[in-house]
């Protein structure tokens, strides 16, 4: 038995494993996540960097937010799969994009953020704590 949560990009070149449950998990409906993913939202899980091991090359796309913070999204250079957020070796915390899980059942969403930007064609799952923008 292992408690490892594993996942990675479509081609398998960019991989991760986590040895603890995520500290938070949910959906982001912001316009940036919509554009970055090409879908209606990004499903994310937050992990302390210390709980994660990420292997393989990544291309980082950095976008400045209106509040001055930056979003760093990391893609596999081979297949283009969007895998995680944050800068490896620099940020204390990473978001892992839940669609990359090997076993998607590991994703247990609890929150929805940026609900104010959710397109009408994306249904809001039930049972979540909903934030119209970024919480707190
Ligand atoms: Zn790949
Ligand atoms: Zn977002």
In the reported structure, the alpha carbon of residue 31 is separated from the centroid of ligand 1 by a whole-number distance in angstroms of 24
Report the distance separating Cα 64 and Cα 70, nearest Å. 4
Q: What is the pLDDT of residue 69?
A: 82
Helices (H), the chain: 31-37
Please give the distance, rounded to the nearest whole angstrom, from the Cα atom of residue 1 to the centre of ligand 2.
34
- Is 90 inside a domain boundary? yes
Assigned domain for 13 exists: yes
Q: Are strands 24-28 and 111-113 parallel, antiparallel or unpaired?
A: parallel
The CATH number of the domain holding residue 71 is 2.170.150.70
Give the domain extent around 64. 5-130
More confident residue, 2 or 126: 126
| Alpha carbons 30 and 67: distance in angstroms, whole number | 14
Q: Answer whether residue 116 is part of any domain.
A: yes
Across the chain, mean pLDDT equals 95
pLDDT surpassing 60 at residue 136? yes
pTM of the predicted protein model: 0.93
Say which ligand is closest to the CA of 55: 1
Q: Which ligand is nearest to the CA of 35?
A: 2
Q: Which residue has the higher pLDDT, 68 or 37?
A: 37
- pLDDT > 70? residue 54: yes
Does residue 136 belong to any structural domain of this protein? Answer: no
Span 14-30, average pLDDT? 96
- How confident is the model over 105-122, as pLDDT tens digits? 999 999 999 999 999 999
* Separation of CA 119 and ligand 1 centre (Å): 28
Taking the centre of ligand 2 as the mean of its atom positions, its distance from the CA of residue 33, in whole angstroms, is 4
Q: Does a structural domain hold residue 104?
A: yes
15 belongs to a structural domain: yes
Q: How many folded domains does the chain comprise? A: 1
The answer to whether position 9 is within a domain reads: yes
Specify the pLDDT at position 2. 60
**Distance, CA of 86 to CA of 96 (rounded, Å):** 9
pLDDT at 85 over 50: yes
Contact assessment for residue 46 and residue 57, using Cβ atoms and an 8 Å cutoff = no
Angle at 107 between CA 123 and CA 124, to 5 degrees: 10
> Is 135 within a domain?
no
């Amino acid at each position: 038995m292992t408690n490892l949560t594993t996942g990675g990009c479509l081609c398998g070149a960019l991989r991760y494993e986590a040895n603890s449950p995520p500290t938070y998990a949910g959906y982001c409906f912001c316009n940036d996540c919509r554009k970055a993913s090409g879908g209606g939202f990004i499903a994310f899980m937050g992990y302390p960097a210390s709980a994660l091991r990420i292997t393989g090359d990544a291309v980082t796309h950095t976008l400045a937010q209106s509040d001055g913070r930056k979003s760093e999204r990391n893609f596999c250079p081979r297949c283009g799969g969007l895998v995680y957020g944050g800068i490896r070796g620099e940020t204390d915390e990473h978001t892992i994009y839940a669609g990359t899980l090997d076993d998607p059942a590991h994703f247990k969403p609890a929150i929805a953020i940026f609900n104010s930007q959710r397109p009408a064609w994306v249904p809001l799952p039930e049972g979540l704590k909903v934030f119209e923008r970024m919480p707190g």
